[in-house]
Structure 1
Amino acid sequence: MRVLMIAPGTRGDVAPMAGLAAKLGTHGFEVSIAANMEYAPLVTRAGATFHELPGSMDELVNPAAPGQKAGAKKLRWYMRELQAYFESAATGTLRAAEQGAEVIMANSVAPFAYDVAEALQIPVIGAHLQPTEPSGAYAPMVLGTARNFGAVGNKLLGSLIGASKAPYDPPVSRLRSELGLPPRSRPASERHRRSKDAPILHGFSPLLVPRPKDWRPAMSTCGYWWPQRDSDWTAPTELLDFLADGPPPVYLGFGSTAAMDADFMHEVATRSDRRVILQGAP
């Protein structure tokens, strides 16, 4: 079976899909991944075929400098740039799907993959790295808060945010028009998929996010899709010496959020009174 994975975003979006692709390859699946050009080696090392999604997300992850909040002007620029990025990703998704696939797996920032699949009559499985479904069990991820608003508040906020405008909405509308599909907004399409109990797999541990009771039956957690290990990699002597020179350290990593305030993170590490390996700050 030919599986096409759509993975716009940064390395943190692509690496888990590459790890999943490597595992699927051992079971006889023929996997290809559509991602930005800088991740082509990551994809091919996993034994998957690479399809390019034009653009790069690296410069767009953080709209403000470390320790600062983005102003209105910067946020408007940021949203315009994100929309342009997703316009290119939507076009690349169509080109990749036209090369042939029997099933498409789409991450949470590629809703246009569903529209491409609808036009080409290819089934789609959601492949999410975060819990984006509105639920009473957690606050919406995009709020960036650990606060619990209660079961009703959490679900209501999740539904409101899901229905609000997003930078990938214009590409969805454009693709549907170009492909001769009936007009339908991205939120309307998501409601339709919920009504049909469309499958979504989540690549994180249920120990981190226990499966909420209000999730649909076709939604499941699979555990982490660990990236493919580089067999040629060896740890630097400096790292090996550090690991051997005391108790096991705590790892602090923030994925694509590279613009962390280095002084703040250093204070966190110091106050923890633990040995720390920090990724994401200078």
Structure 2
Amino acid sequence: MRVLLSTYGSRGDVEPLAGLAVQLRALGAEVRVCAPPDEDFAQRLSGVGVSMVPVGPSARALTTAAAPPSASDLPRRAAELIAGQFEVVTAAAEGCDVLVATGMMPAAAGALSVAEKLGIRSVSVTFQQLTLPSPHRRPLAYPGRPFPPEVTDNRVLWDMDAQSINALFGEALNTNRVAHGLPPVDDVRDYVIGDRPWLATDPVLDPWQKTPGTPGTPGTPGTPGTPGTPDLDVVQTGAWILSDANPLPAELIAFLDAGTPPVYVGFGSMPMHASRDVAEVAVEAVRAQGRRAVVARGWAGLALLDGRDDCFIVGEVNQHALFARVAAVVHHGGAGTTTTATRAGAAQVVVAQATDQPYWAGRVADLGIGVAHDGPVPTVESLSAALATALAPETRARATAVAGTIRPDGATVAAHLLLDPVRRERASMSA
């Protein structure tokens, strides 16, 4: 059995696929991943024995560019991503039994169109629920397309979201679909989500709130939705976690052993264009709390600004093992980092930058396992105050308690949901 996992995005869009790929291989499937051509992605996947097919431009180069994409740039970039999906994913998907599509919406739309063209079963997956229409919350706004402040009805806002997505990506998607013999789609968002999307997040950290009358139990078919309410049958598998057996570097272990638990500071794939200032602010805030610091370089290239022995710089490292040994984790609020820190029982300070990160910051605060920093640009004073709350004994106790509720088996659940229907179908055909 052959499975293709397709994504385009940052580390947070690739790492979960590595976790799923390992579980699929354990069940006997052949797996390959289509992902951006960044070296760290290829190394991560090859490290778990999974081949990667590069697609599109470097995600790191796009993310760390000096200027973020403007609203006028998005349709052009979408057209390039979708064309690349048709070119690369079509070849990679030949002979596959199922395709999993995730990542940026235009890329997912292209990958799902390829599966449609080849007659392959496909599944649409998201690693945060904010792209799934719900009357309980408003959608995220795209750059340059803010929602009118006077509109507060969530259902109206979701209709406007669909219109924005069609305006940004519809022409590019349908041009490519028609060129490959497929009919155009009327609603890009509905096409990508489908009527049974998967939500690969932990139900404690990220509970999906069902609307009365919509399908009920995650992972199983439900009853039809009532008129006027979304009828998405969301399958929440749990987060796709890749267990990391790599030991921490000896030098890092020596640093950890040399004093009280430090505070980890890292912003993952976020560019943090004022990275020098951010690193300096963070270290000063940590020192103000009488703590040492472990600073992760990340895509922002954070660096230490002095030679004092109370700080240690790290690159790629076993985050779960490290987070279990620190006093708190200061991070950007990516879904993966938030889940890892929560599983490790670490108190958190989330300095959210964009997209879904404010949501994860809010979840951390709501669960009482850390602090949502007020705004994306910390000062020594604001970060030190947030750390004081995160480092309080009651926050640590709550973080330890919540850690025991996080499910570790999401990738296993998803692997069975992918493969079992194909196996049953083959068994019935051969009977």
TM-score where L is the length of structure 1: 0.76
Aligned residue for 1:106? 101
Whether 2:88 is the aligned partner of 1:92: answer: yes
Aligned to 1:242: 255
Secondary structure (helix, strand or coil) at the match of 1:137 reads: coil
1:243 partner letter? L
Counterpart of 1:137?
136
Say if 2:239 is the partner of 1:224: yes
Matching residue's letter, 2:180: L
CA RMSD of aligned residues (A): 3.4
Aligned residue number for residue 258 of structure 1 = 271
Correspondence for 2:126: 128
* CA distance 1:200–1:237, shift in 2 (3 Å): same
Structure 1 residues 136 and 249: alpha-carbon distance in aligned structure 2, compared to 1, 3 A threshold: farther
Q: Is the 8 A contact 1:134 1:159 kept in 2?
A: no
Letter of the 1:57 partner, please give it.
A
| Residues 143, 171 of structure 1: alpha-carbon distance in 2 compared, 3 angstrom cutoff | closer
**Distance in structure 1 (CA, Å) of the matches to 2:198 and 2:176:** 25
Equivalent residues in 2 for 1:70-85, closer than 5 Å? 76=72, 80-81=76-77, 83-85=79-81
How far 1:156 moved relative to its partner? 3.5
Residue of structure 1 in register with 2:20 after alignment: 20
How many residues are treated as equivalent by the alignment? 264
AA aligned to 1:210 is P
| Cα distance change, pair 46–251 in 1 and its aligned pair in 2 (3 A) | same
Q: Distance in 1 between matches of 2:36 and 2:268?
A: 17
267, 271, 278: which is aligned to 2:281?
Answer: 267
With 263-272 and 211-220 compared, the bigger mean Cα shift is at 263-272
Give the SS at the match of 1:135.
coil
- Cα shift at 1:58: 1.2
1:206 and 1:80 map into 2 onto residues whose CA distance is: 36
Residue identity opposite 2:205 in structure 1: L
- Higher Cα Rg: structure 1 or 2? 2
Q: What amino acid maps onto 1:41 in structure 2?
A: Q
Structure 2 residue aligned with 1:115: 113
- Relative contact order higher in (CA < 8 Å, ≥ 6 apart): 1
Deviations 1:236-272 (A, max 9, x none): 3442233234444454544321235332464356446
C-alpha change, 1:17 and 1:35, in structure 2 (3 Å) is same
Flag the 1:160–1:75 CA change in 2: closer, same or farther, 3 A. closer
Matched, 1:184 2:185: yes
- Deviation (angstroms), 1:105: 0.5
Aligned counterpart, 2:203: 206
**Which segments of 5 or more consecutive residues in structure 2 lack a partner in the other structure?**
144-148, 212-229, 303-431
* Distance in 2 (alpha carbons) for counterparts of 1:7 and 1:87: 14
Change (3 A) 1:276 1:212: farther
Instruction: Note if contact 1:134-1:154 (Cα within 8 Å) is conserved in structure 2.
Output: no
Distance 1:75 1:59, change over 3 A: farther
Taking only the aligned residue pairs, the percentage that are identical comes to: 30
Alignment correspondent of 2:164? 164
Distance 2:257 2:75 in 1: 46
Q: Distance in 2 between matches of 1:83 and 1:174?
A: 9
Contact 2:138 2:158 in 1 (8 A): yes
Asked if 2 retains the 8 angstrom alpha-carbon contact of 1:53 and 1:89, the reply is yes
Give deviations 1:80-139, integer Å, cap 9, x for gaps.
445434432342122222x22111100042111221122211121112112211223344
Which segments of 5 or more consecutive residues in structure 1 lack a partner in the other structure? none
